[in-house]
């Protein structure tokens, strides 16, 4: 047992740092932050970053080598994750690269793999996820969007909601009901890929707390989808969707991001005007408690990576990454607002701001937006309460 | 990065796991704990025969050459069995001081006996006024002729009743809480001027209040530099914290798993109580607390094996904070979910709860280690 990097890993770390310095230099970092922008909405620097990733073959490191992945060891993935997060590099949109792609390379046909994987790998296409519906949130299997076969097409009718990036997406991967008479609701669901330019699709923005606009409601009216866009077998979509969820357990904890944010918060608390926070033992204690929990979670993630590295399936400890990771992210965001004191209050609308900048310390508004929007972290992707149900069933055997 | 155990470590883990399963069931443990001595001399002999008492010591000193990870593996299994044999006070504390600061003569004189099981040890450090501050000492050692004279009072010395060898912290210079001026002495427990009042602790260990009255020591009783004892205490105690923390992790594993089993079989309102979501989520929380503590246990062990310093001390304090919080949560909720049964002396649950609660106190509780974590 040891935590050190070996020579090869250290060399890799240097390689990664040099790559980042060359293609995402300090100057670019404030422009893009860690935001992911769809094609056509990227700054020159951000687009350059993606181009450099593709040229180096590092755009989708976690994919199988046959499809353009890197074949890195879990430790290399860990190094990559930490270094790019620390440098606040742009992140590939998760919908295509991390959520859909594993389904396509596991269950898609050769033709589907050839058609859909390269544009994702090259960050040329924006995907969105059509799962939740007005009546199907945590209880996703109750979804009612209907797809009826008509020759070479499915005709899709229904409504999706909370659809992140739908307003800028080129494609949507979508769960639809193809059979309404099955014994278990999970059995009649299929996994369809839908071109967002298809006639019959309407996208309406939903404005969330602290969010400028990322989620939408989507209505589908007689949308014709080629049968060629069905993944795997009809009525087996639930299996694929679930597989997708269990595939990507590591990395979802956002530990590196939390570490960066906590680091900034500690810095801020240390140099805040009169040092009141630096001397506030109660506040410092809160920071220390978060720091320790974050260390624990990082080790939990490393344990998971180690198991995977040895060729095993992630152990039960991996299931806590999402719950603890989102809790910690939210706690850090809360502490940021606490640290701002009264400057946690101003929330100027961009339109009212005019040419004068926002009031208060740099980044105050971002902190506020992050705290508000960050409440979604424990809701989306299966709320933390649902996650506990899953652990109770899968790990504790209830 | 490597999270796997070496072959030797796996063998060690297997051997202690087998012992706990076969020879240290809860009933056997209760019998042992009820003995006058508070532990079984026969078990101690077995520990020696299996080589466990030599695990942390260098091969040159007759030991096994193991590191923090080895100690961790042993202690985690001890925690599963609620082992009462005094491994920590004898091997990791008394033995630890010899290992870290002992001269060749001192090692030669005592280590063989510790490793073969014939010598019991204890570390007498706490004083009634000092809480968790190792430097807060009213016990003094004054130079007298070639040696020293010890006077003072030591509180709650774990394994005091059985100890042949005491390591005693005393002030040789400076004010009551100065970091300089703390010295350590190896003292024969039967020396003239030492009197003890022995008692059991709530978690079935044995402890003593020790009065030191003009105890005469020769010059070679000093271990480490005169007045430079504090850093040695930090290093030795941090090794012991890893062990009691690992014990806590082992105990938490038993508690969360036993609670899950109980909730699957105990029926109320016509169904197993584990069907209730409020209880399921509580058990998930217990499971998560256990896993988080286990993660920091690995971290602390690996940092200690990298060599002792601030990094290792910080990892140990982080682990101790987590163990304190997790242990309390898992222990209290295991009792809660077992209902009235959890309150009984008859069931194992309450005994794990007691041990976990005491582990939080030992060598500084959550508050103390949070402060230490922040200061490192």
Which tokens hold the place of B223?
């271990």
Q: Please identify every residue of A annotated as catalytic.
A: 248
pLDDT in the model for residue A243:
75
The DSSP annotation for A294-344 comes to HHHHHHHHHHHHHHHHTTPPP-GGGGHHHHHHHHHHHHHHHHHHHHHGGGG
Q: Which CATH architecture has domain B230-375?
A: Up-down Bundle (1.20)
Residue of A nearest to B312 (CA): A3
Mean of pLDDT values over B273-289: 98
Check whether A271 has a pLDDT greater than 80: no
A305 and A176 belong to one structural domain: no
pLDDT in the model for residue A109:
98
Cα–Cα distance measured from residue A352 to residue A365, given in angstroms and rounded to the nearest whole number:
14
Which residue from A78, A299, A306 is facing B299, i.e. has the nearest CB?
Answer: A299
Q: Is A74 inside a domain boundary?
A: yes
pLDDT in tens, A139-194: 999 999 999 999 999 999 999 999 999 999 999 999 999 999 999 999 999 999 99
Residue of B nearest to A74 (CA): B1
The contacts of residue B105 (CB under 8 Å, 6+ apart) are: B220
Q: B91 near B165, Cβ under 8 Å?
A: no
pLDDT in the model for residue B222:
98
pLDDT in tens, A184-243: 999 999 999 999 999 999 999 999 998 778 999 999 999 999 999 999 999 999 999 887
Q: B360 near B324, Cβ under 8 Å?
A: yes
Indicate which CATH number applies to the domain containing A371: 1.20.140.10
Residue A331 is part of which domain span? Answer: 249-394
Cα–Cα distance measured from residue B256 to residue B334, given in angstroms and rounded to the nearest whole number:
7
A197 and A264 belong to one structural domain: no
pLDDT in tens, A76-119: 999 999 999 999 999 889 899 989 999 999 999 999 999 999 99
pLDDT in the model for residue A269:
85
Instruction: State the smallest CA–CA distance between residue B234 and chain A in angstroms.
Output: 20
Q: Which CATH architecture has domain B7-118?
A: Orthogonal Bundle (1.10)
Q: What is the largest CA-CA distance in chain A?
A: 73
Residue of A nearest to B298 (CA): A299
Cα–Cα distance measured from residue A216 to residue A28, given in angstroms and rounded to the nearest whole number:
30
A185 and A87 belong to one structural domain: no
Which range in A64-78, A275-289, A313-327, B292-306 is most confidently predicted, on average pLDDT?
A: B292-306
Question: Total domain count for chain A?
Answer: 3
H or E element: which one contains A176? strand A171-177
Instruction: State the smallest CA–CA distance between residue B241 and chain A in angstroms.
Output: 16
Boundary-marking domain end, from A240, A267, A298: A240
* Sign of the C-alpha dihedral computed for residues A118, A119, A122 and A123 taken in this order: negative
Q: For residue A157, what are the β-bridge partners?
A: A146
pLDDT in the model for residue B317:
98
What end-to-end distance do the CA atoms of chain B give, in Å?
A: 24
pLDDT in the model for residue A309:
75
* Strand duo B147-158 + A146-150: pairing: unpaired
B123 three-class SS: strand
Instruction: State the smallest CA–CA distance between residue B132 and chain A in angstroms.
Output: 18
Boundary-marking domain end, from A220, A240, A260: A240
Mean of pLDDT values over B236-242: 98
Residue of B nearest to A315 (CA): B291
A272 and A144 belong to one structural domain: no
Q: Is A115 inside a domain boundary?
A: no
CB contact under 8 A, B373 and A292: yes
A322 and A259 belong to one structural domain: yes
pLDDT band at B261 (very low <50, low <70, confident <90, very high): very high
Which residue from B284, B294, B303 is facing A388, i.e. has the nearest CB?
Answer: B284
Instruction: State the smallest CA–CA distance between residue A31 and chain B in angstroms.
Output: 34
CB contact under 8 A, B292 and A293: yes
Task: From chain A, pick out residues whose CB is under 8 angstroms from the CB of B296.
Answer: 292, 295-296, 299
Check whether B155 has a pLDDT greater than 80: yes
Of the CATH numbers 3.30.1330.40, 2.60.40.1730, 2.40.110.10, 2.60.40.10, which one belongs to the domain with range B122-228? 2.40.110.10
A305 and A345 belong to one structural domain: yes
Instruction: Check CB contact of A9 with chain B, cutoff 8 Å.
Output: yes
Mean of pLDDT values over B349-371: 98
Q: Is A371 inside a domain boundary?
A: yes
Interface test with B, best of A3, A280, A294, A390 (most B CBs within 10 A): A3
pLDDT in the model for residue A358:
76
Q: Is A174 inside a domain boundary?
A: yes
Q: A59 near A36, Cβ under 8 Å?
A: no
Q: What is the mean pLDDT of chain B?
A: 97
DSSP code for B77:
H
Give me the residue spans of the domains in chain B: 7-118, 122-228, 230-375
CB contact under 8 A, A296 and B2: no
Which tokens hold the place of B60?
């040159």
Cα–Cα distance measured from residue B131 to residue B127, given in angstroms and rounded to the nearest whole number:
7
Cα–Cα distance measured from residue B117 to residue B312, given in angstroms and rounded to the nearest whole number:
30
Cα–Cα distance measured from residue B14 to residue B8, given in angstroms and rounded to the nearest whole number:
10
A325 and A386 belong to one structural domain: yes
pLDDT in the model for residue A313:
75
CB contact under 8 A, A306 and B4: yes
Q: Is A62 inside a domain boundary?
A: yes
A318 and A389 belong to one structural domain: yes
Output Rg (C-alpha) for chain B, integer angstroms: 21
Boundary-marking domain end, from A240, A268, A286: A240
The DSSP annotation for B145-199 comes to TTEEEEEEEEEEEETTTT-SEEEEEEESSS-TT-STTEEEEEEETT-TTEEEEEE
Check whether A248 has a pLDDT greater than 60: no
pLDDT in the model for residue A261:
93
pLDDT in the model for residue B153:
98
Q: B149 near B214, Cβ under 8 Å?
A: yes
Q: What is the mean pLDDT of chain A?
A: 90
Check whether B108 has a pLDDT greater than 90: yes
């Amino acid at each position: 047992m040891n935590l050190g990097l070996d020579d090869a890993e250290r060399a890799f770390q240097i390689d990664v740092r040099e790559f980042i310095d060359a293609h995402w230099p300090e100057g670019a970092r404030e422009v893009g932050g860690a935001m992911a922008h769809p094609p056509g909405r990227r700054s020159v620097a951000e687009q350059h970053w993606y181009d450099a990733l593709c040229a180096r073959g590092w755009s989708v490191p976690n994919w199988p080598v046959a499809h353009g992945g890197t074949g890195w060891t879990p430790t290399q993935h860990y190094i990559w994750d930490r270094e790019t997060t620390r440098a606040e590099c742009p992140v590939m949109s998760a919908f295509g690269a991390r959520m859909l792609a594993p389904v396509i390379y596991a269950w898609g046909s050769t033709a589907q793999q050839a058609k859909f994987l390269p544009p994702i790998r090259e960050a040329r296409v924006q995907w969105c996820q059509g799962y939740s519906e007005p009546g199907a949130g945590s209880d996703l299997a109750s979804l009612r969007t209907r797809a009826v076969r008509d020759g070479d097409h499915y005709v899709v009718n229904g409504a999706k909601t909370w659809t992140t990036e739908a307003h800028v997406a080129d494609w949507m991967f979508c769960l639809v009901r193809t059979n309404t008479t099955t014994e278990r609701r999970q059995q009649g669901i299929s996994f369809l890929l839908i071109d967002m330019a298809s006639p019959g699709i309407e996208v309406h923005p939903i404005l969330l707390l602290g969010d400028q606009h990322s989620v939408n409601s989507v209505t589908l009216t007689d949308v014709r989808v080629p049968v060629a866009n069905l993944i795997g077998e009809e009525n087996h979509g639930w299996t694929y969707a679930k597989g997708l969820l269990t595939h990507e357990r590591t990395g979802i904890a956002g530990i590196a991001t939390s570490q960066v944010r906590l680091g900034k918060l500690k810095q801020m608390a240390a140099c805040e005007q009169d040092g009141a926070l630096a001397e506030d033992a109660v506040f410092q204690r809160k920071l220390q408690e978060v720091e320790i929990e974050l260390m624990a979670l990082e080790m939990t993630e490393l344990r998971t990576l180690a198991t995977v590295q040895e060729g095993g399936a992630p152990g039960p400890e991996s299931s806590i990454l999402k719950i603890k990771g989102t809790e910690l992210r939210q706690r850090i965001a809360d502490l940021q607002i606490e640290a701002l004191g009264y400057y946690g209050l101003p929330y100027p609308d961009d339109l009212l701001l005019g040419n004068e900048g926002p009031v208060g310390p740099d980044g105050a508004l971002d902190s506020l937006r992050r705290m508000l929007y960050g409440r979604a972290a424990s809701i989306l992707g299966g709320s933390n309460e649902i996650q506990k149900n899953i652990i109770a069933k899968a790990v504790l055997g209830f | 990065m490597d999270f796997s155990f070496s072959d030797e470590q796996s063998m060690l883990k297997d051997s202690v796991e087998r012992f706990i399963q076969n020879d240290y069931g809860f009933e056997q443990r209760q019998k042992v704990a009820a003995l006058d001595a508070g532990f079984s001399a026969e078990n101690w002999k077995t520990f020696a025969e299996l080589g466990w008492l030599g695990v942390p010591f260098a091969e040159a000193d007759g030991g096994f050459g193991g590191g923090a990870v080895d100690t961790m593996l042993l202690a985690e299994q001890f925690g599963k069995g609620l082992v009462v044999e005094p491994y920590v006070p004898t091997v990791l504390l008394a033995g630890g001081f010899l290992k870290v600061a002992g001269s060749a003569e001192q090692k030669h004189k005592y280590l063989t006996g510790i490793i073969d099981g014939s010598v019991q040890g204890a570390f007498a450090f706490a004083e009634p006024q000092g809480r968790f501050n190792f430097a807060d000492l009213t016990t003094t050692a004054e130079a007298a002729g070639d040696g020293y004279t010890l006077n003072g009072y030591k509180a709650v010395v774990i394994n005091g009743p059985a100890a042949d060898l005491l390591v005693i912290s005393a002030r040789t210079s400076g004010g009551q809480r100065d970091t300089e001026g703390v010295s350590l002495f190896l003292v024969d427990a039967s020396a003239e001027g030492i009197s003890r009042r022995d008692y059991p602790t709530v978690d079935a260990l044995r402890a003593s209040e020790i009065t030191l009255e003009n105890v005469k020591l020769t010059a070679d009783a000093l271990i480490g530099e005169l007045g430079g004892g504090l850093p040695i205490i930090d290093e030795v105690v941090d090794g012991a914290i890893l062990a009691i923390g690992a014990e806590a992790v082992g105990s938490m594993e038993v508690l969360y798993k036993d609670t899950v089993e109980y909730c699957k079989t105990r029926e109320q309102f016509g169904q197993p109580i584990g069907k209730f979501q409020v209880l399921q989520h509580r058990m998930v929380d217990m499971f998560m607390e256990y896993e988080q503590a286990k993660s920091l246990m690995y971290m602390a062990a690996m940092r200690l094996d990298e060599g002792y310093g601030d990094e290792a001390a910080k990892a140990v304090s982080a682990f101790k904070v987590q163990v304190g919080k997790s242990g309390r949560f898992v222990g209290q909720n295991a009792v809660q979910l077992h209902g009235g049964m959890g309150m009984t002396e008859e069931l194992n649950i309450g005994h794990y709860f007691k041990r976990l609660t005491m582990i939080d106190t030992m060598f500084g509780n959550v508050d103390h280690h949070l402060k230490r974590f922040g200061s490192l």
